[in-house]
C-alpha cells in the first residue's frame, strides 16, 4: 500500500479553493474574485482549479505599509 505523507501547508505547491478558504479565512467568492483580478495565481488540472500556495501566502503577508501604520 502507498503511504501518504502530510506536507505542511506552506510547503505545498498548490491547494484547492476550499483549502485556500480555510487557510486564509476568506470566503469562496473572495478567492474567486482574487483569481479573476490576477492577484491570486492558480492553475487548471483537468476541471479542477488549484490555487498557488506561495501566491496565497504572499497575498496574506502583511505589507510594509500596513506594518508602519
Q: What is the pLDDT of residues 13-63, one digit of tens each?
A: 999 999 999 999 999 999 999 999 999 999 999 999 999 999 999 999 987
Q: 17: buried, middle or exposed (CB in 10 Å: 19+, 13-18, 0-12)?
A: middle
Write down how long the chain is.
69
pLDDT recorded at residue 66 = 58
Distance CA 10, CA 61 (A): 12
Question: Per the structure block, which three cell numbers stand in for 3?
Answer: 503511504
Cβ(15)–Cβ(56) below 8 Å: yes
Examine the pLDDT at 68 and tell me if it is beyond 80.
no
Amino acid at each position: 500500500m502507498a503511504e501518504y505523507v502530510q506536507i505542511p501547508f506552506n510547503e505545498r505547491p498548490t491547494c484547492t479553493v476550499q483549502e485556500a478558504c480555510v487557510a486564509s479565512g476568506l470566503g469562496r467568492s473572495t478567492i474567486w474574485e482574487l483569481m479573476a483580478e490576477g492577484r491570486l495565481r492558480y492553475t487548471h488540472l483537468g476541471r479542477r482549479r488549484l490555487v498557488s500556495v506561495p501566491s496565497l501566502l504572499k497575498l496574506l503577508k502583511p505589507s510594509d505599509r500596513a506594518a508602519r501604520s
